[in-house]
Amino acid sequence: MKTEIRPARLSEAAELSAMMRRTFLAANGHCSTPENVSAFVAQAYTPERQAQEIRDPDTLTLIVEQDGVWAGFAQLRWGTVPPAEVGLRPTVELARIYLDEAFHGQGIAAVLVSHLLAAARLRGSRSVWLTVWQEAPQAIRFWRKHGFQIVGRSLFHVGDDPKEDWVMTQVLPAG
């Protein structure tokens, strides 16, 4: 199997938006009321918003393909303000990483994380931070396995429903 990781293209904004909706619902569709989840998805994952993020020089949106089929996506954001608990600056937010369920358990996420950390280092980041829902033990284990540590808490709103997240960070090796 061949895994390719590449930047998203502007012409792919609608397809990317559809994948983002699908993967968010699969992973988190149960996290709140259907109304709140629907409101969040309608606001966060529009083709227009994805086009804007693809054009943003401070956002790196990546597509991961397995044998030419979209398996998932990820985003790094240099333009967000990190929580106070995130120590080393400059830093970058690992804002999104999702795989379609058919591609879980194949090691693709680990390859994608490695690629993201390398991209962060290339742009001069000294650390990477992310937030993860406190009620997602599998995700928390995944991030710990990849060198992230819990350093604080934050709130993430799904519609009008606040969710408790962990703030996790990783110091990047120099060089």
- Interval 24-73: pLDDT, tens: 988 887 878 888 888 888 999 999 999 999 999 999 999 999 999 999 99
Q: What pLDDT band is residue 126 in, cutting at 50, 70 and 90?
A: very high
The rounded distance, in Å, linking the Cα atoms of 122 and 144 is 23
- Interval 65-109: pLDDT, tens: 999 999 999 999 999 999 888 877 899 999 999 999 999 999 999
146 contacts: CB under 8 Å, gap ≥ 6: 110, 113, 170
**Alpha-carbon dihedral sign for residues 134, 137, 143, 147:** positive
- The strand pair at 91-99 and 69-77 is best described as antiparallel
The rounded distance, in Å, linking the Cα atoms of 151 and 165 is 11
Q: Work out the angle at residue 165's Cα, subtended by the Cα atoms of residues 127 and 149, and round it to the nearest 5 degrees.
A: 35
